[in-house]
Every structure is written in structure tokens, then in C-alpha cells.
Amino acid sequence: MYVCLIEKFYPDVIRVTWTDEAKKEVTDNVVKGDAWKSKEGKYSISTWLTVPAENEDKNYYCNYEHESGKNSLKKQDPLYHRTAYLVYIVLLLKSSMYYLIVLFFIYRAWAPTKHRGKKA
């Protein structure tokens, strides 16, 4: 995953794109955030690119166009968020546990009514 943060620009009109090594624009798996205003009256924006496993060895570049000039941010190292992966697994396990607990209570509520009229 590549993350690009552009800070301290004004006005807030900016175009941010991602390109690969061949300078071809990449549009798949791109998320662009909204620009936000700082206390100083300047704006910031963030965007990130999720790279498929088969393209991990390629480099990608964050480019932006603003009235102050066209710029390209040079090579940035990809950020791998193992923490996000672990959080996802924990949430999945937690949801499974809740599911089992609910099933248990449904069974307990249903089981006595099923066997009420029977004698052992």
C-alpha cells in the first residue's frame, strides 16, 4: 500500500493521481480523501493506492496538479499494514464467537419446549 499526504496548499482545488513506472495513470484500487483545512487556513489531502500482490515489485508515484505548479512526489516505500490484517482477523473471530453464543442461547430456549411432554 502506498500512502500520499499533500499538505499546506491553497486554494483547496487540487488534482491528485497515481502513475506507475511507465508513467501510465493508475485508477484501480485508489482511494482519495477529501481536502481538510488546517488552523493556518491551508489545506491538506491524502490518498492511498492498494497494490495487488502480483505488482508488489513495481514502483508507483503520487502526482498532483495545483495552480502553484505540477509536481510529482518521488518514490515512496510501500507501507504494509500487518496491524490492519490482524485487527481484521480478531474482529472475524469475535463475530464468530458472538454467533456461537447466540446459537447456544437459541438452542437452550428451544430445547426445553421440545422435550416437555416426554418422559424418560
Domain spans, the chain: 2-73, 81-120
User: What is the pLDDT confidence band of residue 75, given thresholds at 50, 70 and 90?
Assistant: very low
- 86 or 23, which is more confident? 23
| CATH class of the domain comprising 2-73 | mainly beta
Q: Give the SS3 label for residue 110.
A: helix
The C-alpha cell of 88 is what?
481484521
Q: Which three cell numbers stand for residue 84?
A: 490492519
pLDDT tens string 25-57: 998 989 998 889 999 999 999 998 988 888 888
Phi first, then psi, for residue 93 (nearest 5°) are -65, -40
| Amino acid 72: pLDDT | 53
**Cα 53-57-59 angle, rounded to 5 deg:** 110
